[in-house]
Amino acid sequence: MNYVGQGLDRSDGRLKVCGAAPYAAEFTAPRMAHAVLLLSTVAKGRVRIDAASAEAAPGVLAVMTPANTPPLPQGGKAAVNPPAGRVLSLLQDDVVSYNGQPIALVVADTLERATDAMRMLKVSYTTADASVDFEKAKLEAHAPAQVNRESPDSARGDVAKALAGAASRIEARYTTPVEHHNPMEPHATIAEWNGDRLILHDSTQYVSGVKETIAKTLGIGPEQVTVICPYVGGGFGCKGSAWSHVTLAAMAARQVGRPVKLVLDRTQMFGPVGNRPRTEQSLRLGAAADGRLSAVHHGVVAETSVLEDWVEPSAIVTRMLYASESQTTSHRITKMNVGTPTFMRAPGEASGSYALECALDELAEQMKIDPLEMRLRNYAEQDPGKRLPFSSKALRECYRAGAERFGWSLRDTRPASMRDGRWQVGLGMASATYPTNRSPAEALVRLTPDGTAVVQSGSQDLGTGTYTVMTQVAADAIGLPIERVRFELGDSRMPKAPVSGGSQSVASVSPAVLAAGLAARSKLIDLAIADAQSPLYQGRRDAIEAGDGWLRLRGGDAARAESIEALMARAGQVIEVRGEAKPGDEKKAYSMHAFGAVFAEVRVDQDLGIVRVPRIVAAYGVGNLLNAKTAHSQLMGGIVWGVGMALFEETHRDLRNGRYINGNLAEYHVPVNADIGSIDIIVVPETDRVINPLGAKGIGEIGITGVAGAIGNAVFHATGRRIRDLPITLDKLL
């Protein structure tokens, strides 16, 4: 292979920097109307809307409310099947279950007229007592049916006995707040009916999932729905599901008989399209005198909506990361009048690793053991929860490489001992991990008479480099120069691919592209062998190789070679082949994860409590990188988000009415360039022949895991104060 692994520039880079890459809201259609969504302002009750003035306003085509919206099959709840389908708010009744719930839709010939008419709606509520306070609601928490298709609870050994006999033990509670995704591109949908067929331009992480969800919800066949999404301006999990606005746009387009565009504004990104839920995590750790863990308990309570049980699986990471003979984990959820939470970059692992890594650091400090040494003493050679070997695990090398680059050996072990003028200096570290997921995927290769190839798979590119990476895989598999290969995605009519979530696009789609590419190469070789005009006529197919746009005999006469372009031109035909790839029984025999080690330096102002992060060094074992440049960007992006999780991000809820009071980018704080110091990323060599034919692990989410823990531990090392509630803000340090 020649292209796989190289740090090639993005194939879609020029389109993006020139503004020519079309996003969902940028498509147009003749006679397109504009819709504006109205959200509830109470958390629980019933709503009544007087729409007379709005309906009479200039340019208004329709006002949809619970009083006049046509009924849907099964009340619009036919597609409940996360991640694609959720319990939606489709104006089928007047019940309000959370603040920010869709309660009306106004459609007009212009956006301005739709917005103006929406303000004319007269809304009244009959309110009821709502559950919006986590501290009260958690008292009635219950166990969900399952967590990541596993039991919500796990147990091995006797934790109570082991804790009683431990040489050292700690017990602590950690919390993570509500967080919202805030991608640069808001949710957007354009719906257009052509007879009984629906075309959706939707900003989504799952074109096939939206297709299935919309078809089921509207009661039509999947073949009647086409979903198109060539580019996504960020998703991070919130676009993995088809939320209410997508179906409402389709319903509105059908009602007015025109294409309808519906784009959420920035404040509407808070509420009806998911978030990371608040968690409260209780950790109890016990260790023998040598620092080896003898007992671990990790209990999680997280919020969910009254509409459905959604679980933040924060304790899942504890089941597999460190060796301990006795361990229990539990997950509990508490129903509240809030919007349903959803997947947010590394759901569970991001929040859970923060609590686990801080608790382990607290135990290490109590026992006067170096935090890195503490992790090495509890290194799990196999998955202790599943009792399976890891398909590959380069975590020891990550610890070594990261510590050496960071200068961990220079760390003064005493908390609050390192200073630089008025700044207290702290060095902290944490482990990172994320499961290696894979789903069935399909791909198509079409070779044309001009010797070029079009490769398709109905995947998505969230800005992660899918276009580029799949082009590299296809070029190597077929044997063409990369400039003669075009990869296409983002259309539900293409061969099916899974959701771009769970860090699985590369691990799932690239094997399918590889299979299709190799099948196309085989067809080319067959064509040459059967062509009397080819120098390779009647050659042995196992002796013919392909590369750089040529077919040639392996190690043979240079005259026995021919360009693919010449061969295809002479044939004058199109070669089209499909490939598919799916996981087998690997997960029954192996535990599959990516691993890493994060080292962070923080500086804390001694008087003001301001926290700065001048440098982070992170080392990862993530299998075979398909593109070194896009991989570096992915890992760096995850680390930046981890800094945000540690120090900035928190959505505040008004306990009087359940409203998010900082639902905008002015008051919901995320890191900016000035907040980010040096980020040094190391990728250690790792071979994994189990996960897929390319040995490639997903890297979209591992980058955020461990970062909040490393920063939290560094803040403690700098100040001697342990902050257990994220984000770590200056008021908590003063």
Tokens 């998911």 appear where?
A: 274
366 three-state secondary structure: helix
Paired with 423 in beta bridges are 420, 605
Sign for the CA dihedral angle at 348, 353, 359, 363 comes to positive
- For 637, list phi and psi in degrees, rounded to 5: -60, -40
Q: Which helix (H) or strand (E) holds 365?
A: helix 349-367
- Name the residue among 193, 189, 199 with its Cα closest to residue 242: 189
Q: How far is CA 155 from CA 166, 326, 462, 621, in A?
A: 18, 8, 38, 29
Residue 568 and residue 186: Cα distance in Å, rounded?
Answer: 44
DSSP 602: E
Question: In this structure, what token pair is assigned to residue 535?
Answer: 């120098």
First to last CA, the chain: 56
Q: Which residues pair with 95 in a beta bridge?
A: 46
**The tokens 């998955």 sit on which residue?**
383
How far apart (Å, rounded) are the C-alpha atoms in residues 543 and 405?
Answer: 46
701 tagged catalytic: yes
3-state secondary structure of 30: coil
Give me the DSSP letters along 169-215: EEEEEEEE--B----SSPPEEEEEEETTEEEEEE--S-HHHHHHHHH
**What is the spatial distance between Cα 163 and Cα 413, in angstroms, rounded to a whole number?**
26
Nearest to 677 by CA among 445, 406, 447: 406
DSSP string, 619-655: EEE-B--SBHHHHHHHHHHHHHHHHHHHHT----B-T
- Find out whether 730 and 608 touch, Cβ atoms under 8 Å: yes
Handedness of CA 447, 452, 457, 458 (dihedral sign): negative
Backbone phi, then psi, for 408, in 5-degree steps? -60, -30
Using alpha carbons, select from 102, 90, 103, 106 the residue that is nearest to residue 54. Answer: 106
Q: Which residue among 192, 212, 686, 701 is the active-site one?
A: 701
**Which one, of 624, 618, 608, lies nearest residue 698 by Cα?**
624
Question: What values do phi and psi take at 299, rounded to 5?
Answer: -110, 135
Which distant-in-sequence residues (6+ apart) come within 8 Å of 407 by Cβ? none
Question: What size, in residues, is the chain?
Answer: 734
Radius of gyration of the chain (CA): 27
Which residues are known to be catalytic? Answer: 701
